[in-house]
Structure 1
Amino acid sequence: MDRVLLRRDGAAVTATACGDDGTPGAVTRLAPDELPGWVAARERAAPVRWVWDDTTRWYPALLDAGVRVQRCTDLRLAAAVLRRSPLAGPVPAADPGWAALQPVTADDPALFDLADPADALDPVAEHRRQQAAVAASAHRGRLGLLLAAESSGALAAAEMTWAGLPWRVDEHGRLLTALLGDRPPPGLRPPVLERLAGEVRAALRAPDLNPDSPAAVLRALQTAGLPVEDTRSWTLERVEHPVVAPLLEYKRLARLLAANGWSWLDTWVHDGRFRPVFLPGGVVTGRWASSGGGALSVPVQVRPAAVADEGWRLVVADVAQLEPRVLAGMSRDGALAEAARAADLYAGMVAAGVVATRAEAKVGVLGALYGGTRGESGRVMPRLARRYPRAIGLVEDAARAGERGAVVSTLLGRGSPSPRGAWAQRDADLGEAPEPGGRDTDRARRSWGRFTRNFVVQGTGAEWALCWLADLRNRLWRLGEGRLDRRPHLAFFLHDEVVVHTPAPLADEVAEQVRQAAAAAGRLLFGDFPVDFPLDVAVVRSWADAG
């Protein structure tokens, strides 16, 4: 496969042919307006992998010109992975500028922004360094797959921002009016919130109370004799008092107004599309983050506004219990994989006689993933350890490694950050089990152990999802013709859930391709080990109809 590295060179672009080891070859110099056509022609001619400093700096402009690329290497994202990966081979450290480089998150990034810090970096040298780090790895296949998947995720993220999720402004406004009343003038509360505020003040006999101030509300609650230490919803739900119902409802609706109210609608929905900025690798585990718009926490109250275009459908798919299934695969625990063959893994555990109820199964698995050792979780854990020794042993080993300050790794090689503090440095230097310390030290060790316990599974789950996305975006492209947004295309992604916007006649085929891509991701990560990733797939007009 050809490799072509793009870099800015003053007022032009240079395209450098590269060998598999990153060695530069022939150079083509292009004016910015020549680049889209040249890239499109190369894409049609032969498979090519584009190498660039950062996908957010190059791909949006290509998409605007109607050019879609199949593969890339995102040097910024790859540098971040290699910086921490214990699987990377020994090579010189990267220029610190790569760690400082941030993605472009503006609504309309230009290809040639002035004073872009990327221009001070040498992408040719960094590409060679990265290729050497993979080549020198004892696990080059796994690490190479991670870097390819991370870069594919960057392409998918840019395409989802560009295409957007169909969003009906009129429907969203109707939902807000039904819940909150008419849109108020700036600085005033909607009618329903104002009514609830009055009920809260009356119940607490505090006529001047500002219900938007947690500190003021807590003082008023305590003055009224309520035994509460905070104003969290689960705290209030345990209290019997006339203020509880209106206060909880006020909090719920106020959150909706702040996160997805009229201001959100004005800011984030244009031309019938919600276009959040996704940030692949934005969390240390490899999970995605987003910049503005609350893309990763869209509440169910407003999902009825996500409506497919006329003649189109949304295909919504999510995988059940992703992390326990990933744990079965990465630990190669046959008994847990057997439970995972059920559509509901927790029900599979009950059927195997490991626990009596689905609730016990869920509590036990969450305890294993997050370090729950008390209460119901602590009681169930010994049964899980006997039935699933390889799976429980894997997360226990990760926890112990974290407690002594060691770095742990996902299946493909994403490394955990090192803990901070004198205890971690001393234990890592000794390479031994930690010595007993003071209460604060022991608490810090256990806390970091809970983090590393979950890191290995959540991070590998993120790798599975990246492979799912990467395969699916190419499958969808092959189903249609024309521009990206006229074919079936990814419109949204939430960790273990995808939303595809597709012409209605292709909806059933899209659903099948979604399932096939999930199965392919499982084989790619876990080979012939028999762990299933069943999907709940729905073909709907509105996201809310997916359930």
Structure 2
Amino acid sequence: MHRVLLRRLEGGHVEARDRTDDGAPAGVARLGPGELAGYVAERERAGVRWVWDDTTRWYPALLASGVRVERCTDLRLGHAVLRRSPFLDRALLTGPDTPGWDALAPAEPGDAALFPLTDPADALDPGAEEDRQRAAVAASPQRGRLALLLAAESSGALAAAEMTATGLPWRADVHERLLTELLGPRPAPGLRPRELERLAGEVRAELAAPDLNPDSPAEVLRALQAAGLAVADTRSWTLERIDHPAVPPLLEYKRLARLLSANGWAWLDTWARDGRFRPTFLPGGVVTGRWASSGGGALSVPTLVRPAAVADEGRRLVVADVAQLEPRVLAGMSGDTAMAEAARAADLYEGMVAGGAVATRAEAKLGILGAMYGGTRGESGRMLPRLARRYPRAISLVEEAARAGERGEVVSTLLGRGSPPPTGAWAQRPLDLGEAPEETGPRADRDRDRRAWGRFTRNFVVQGTGAEWALCWLADLRNRLWRLGEGPLEQRPHLVFFLHDEVVVDTPEELAGAVVEEVHRSAGVAGRLLFGTFGVDFPLDVAVVRSWADAG
């Protein structure tokens, strides 16, 4: 497949340079202002991989011109992955502009103008950076894994830009009605909604604190303690253990105040425009490879407001999420056949019970989550020896990752994303296994920090590999959806939301069944890409709905 390197020139011009497999130029086109979209659309017909500094700097303007890209190489994302990967010699990535690539951030969302007047990316050489990345990957003994990770990361960047461009269907009138039902009519600026004011009055009366501001945790804590309640904080899980008439209205106040702050009328005015919610997704925005978002709280849309996500007339939303992704990924990456057998059940935890590992589903869930997240004490710790006997390879993998983290070492995901190096005084001192533990003092503090970092690396390898599976699922599904329909992107089935292990597809109603089939096929492809012929099942919960809330 042809690779075409795009580079910005002065005056809004663009250089498009065809490159051979060894990186040599194979033809150059100089495009004037306004010519890029037509050029890209024409070259897409024959199949091409676009190489550019950063998808956020190129793709939104192409989408605004009605041009969809199938494949790209995102050098910014690739650079971030490779600079931390233990799978390669990072010295091969070093060049005169490496500090600029290290510091390059995604472009801020704005209008669809092609290039800003000043951009730090303009000082970088994308051709040299691509050569360095390709050389570093080619020299790696894990070149296949790294190549898959870079391709999936770049495809995710395309999907993210498309989801922002098309937006998630959002009915402002439904959202407004939900807020009114829960909070009362929209208040004047600076005033609380009616329901919050009512609850605040109940809390004040029950605590005999007429001037209490329920939005102030410090004031609430003092009022609770003055009422004779032995509480150290005002967190919901702390309050739920207290039997006092002030607690129910206080918990309800906190719940509704959170809704008002995160998804109230201000959110509606800012983010629900022209019948769409258009958040900015940030692929690779978290160190594990999970996505982040910029503005709008896209990755934490509460169920309370999901009824407002309603498909347009004649269309449906296909909502799919994978059950127990991370335990299944742990089975696959460790090659643990007994755990893979449990994963063949629709409910992995029930599969563990059926396999005789533990007696109840609750024990299975508690034990596996403890193993992955470092809950190795208490009840989850009690389950760990039993799980280690039944699933030795899976438990050994996370235990070894924890010990590596405690030694200050870098761990990696299956495809080669490296964990950040630890910081702090403990990381500067080698671990002495012969030292007796101390309960207090500087060494005790270092030991606690060391163990905390081990809990992070324990989870990093699993959560990061889960993010890789989800990214491969998303990348494969994106192109399958395009092939289902005809016309512009927004008329075809297309992705409108992605949250770690869940996707939402907006589709013409008559193609919903075909979309469901492709969602399942893509999950199978993702499993084979990461784990080959090792049999790990990734069952999906899939619903075809008019409103996102109806997916359950």
SS state of the match for residue 30, structure 2? strand
Pairing 1:63-212 to 2, within 5 Å after superposition: 63-89=63-89, 90-94=91-95, 95-212=98-215
Among 439, 443, 450, which residue is 2:455 paired with? 450
Which residue does the alignment assign to 1:14? Answer: 15
SS state of the match for residue 342, structure 1? coil
Among 371, 375, 382, which residue is 1:372 paired with? 375
Cα distance in structure 2, aligned partners of 1:188 and 1:423: 49
Deviation string for 1:147-198 (max 9, x for gaps)? 0000000000000000100000000000000000000011110000011111
Deviation string for 1:299-355 (max 9, x for gaps)? 000000000110000000000000000000000000000000000000000111111
The structure-2 alpha-carbon separation of the partners of 1:155 and 1:381, relative to structure 1 and needing over 3 Å to count, comes to same
CA contact (8 A) 1:201 1:209 kept: yes
SS state of the match for residue 16, structure 2? strand
> Are 1:4 and 2:4 an aligned pair?
yes
State the 1:434 CA deviation: 8.4
Which consecutive residues of structure 1, in runs of 5 or more, have no partner in the other structure? none
SS state of the match for residue 493, structure 1? strand
Cα distance in structure 1, aligned partners of 2:434 and 2:477: 45
The structure-2 alpha-carbon separation of the partners of 1:366 and 1:10, relative to structure 1 and needing over 3 Å to count, comes to same
Cα distance in structure 2, aligned partners of 1:47 and 1:434: 60
CA contact (8 A) 2:2 2:49 kept: yes
State the 1:436 CA deviation: 5.7
The structure-2 alpha-carbon separation of the partners of 1:434 and 1:41, relative to structure 1 and needing over 3 Å to count, comes to farther
SS state of the match for residue 32, structure 1? coil
Deviation string for 1:346-365 (max 9, x for gaps)? 00001111111111000000
Which residue does the alignment assign to 1:41? Answer: 42
Which residue does the alignment assign to 1:490? Answer: 495
Which residue does the alignment assign to 1:348? Answer: 351
Which residue does the alignment assign to 1:421? Answer: 424
State the 1:108 CA deviation: 2.1
CA contact (8 A) 1:54 1:103 kept: yes
The structure-2 alpha-carbon separation of the partners of 1:92 and 1:524, relative to structure 1 and needing over 3 Å to count, comes to closer
Cα distance in structure 1, aligned partners of 2:208 and 2:120: 57
Cα distance in structure 1, aligned partners of 2:524 and 2:115: 41
Which consecutive residues of structure 2, in runs of 5 or more, have no partner in the other structure? 438-442
The structure-2 alpha-carbon separation of the partners of 1:436 and 1:472, relative to structure 1 and needing over 3 Å to count, comes to farther
State the 1:101 CA deviation: 1.0
SS state of the match for residue 91, structure 1? helix
Which one-letter code corresponds to 2:34 in the other structure? D
Deviation string for 1:238-290 (max 9, x for gaps)? 11111101100000000000000010010001110000000000000000000
Pairing 1:360-509 to 2, within 5 Å after superposition: 360-427=363-430, 438-509=443-514
Which one-letter code corresponds to 2:451 in the other structure? R
The structure-2 alpha-carbon separation of the partners of 1:92 and 1:515, relative to structure 1 and needing over 3 Å to count, comes to closer
Deviation string for 1:105-130 (max 9, x for gaps)? 32425322011111111111111110
Which one-letter code corresponds to 1:541 in the other structure? R
Cα distance in structure 2, aligned partners of 1:387 and 1:253: 45
Deviation string for 1:474-499 (max 9, x for gaps)? 00000000100000000100100000
Which one-letter code corresponds to 1:407 in the other structure? V
SS state of the match for residue 429, structure 2? helix
Which one-letter code corresponds to 1:197 in the other structure? A
SS state of the match for residue 33, structure 1? coil
Cα distance in structure 1, aligned partners of 2:433 and 2:64: 55
Among 515, 518, 537, which residue is 2:520 paired with? 515
Cα distance in structure 1, aligned partners of 2:128 and 2:184: 59
Which residue does the alignment assign to 2:224? Answer: 221
> Are 1:238 and 2:241 an aligned pair?
yes
Cα distance in structure 1, aligned partners of 2:35 and 2:2: 20
Q: Identity of counterpart residues, as a percentage?
A: 77
State the 1:533 CA deviation: 0.3
CA contact (8 A) 1:50 1:73 kept: yes
SS state of the match for residue 105, structure 1? coil
Which residue does the alignment assign to 1:327? Answer: 330
The structure-2 alpha-carbon separation of the partners of 1:149 and 1:435, relative to structure 1 and needing over 3 Å to count, comes to farther
CA contact (8 A) 1:278 1:290 kept: yes
Normalising by structure 2, we get a TM-score of: 0.97
Deviation string for 1:174-233 (max 9, x for gaps)? 000000000001111000001111111111111111110111111111111111000000
Deviation string for 1:387-409 (max 9, x for gaps)? 00000000001000000000001
Which one-letter code corresponds to 1:374 in the other structure? R
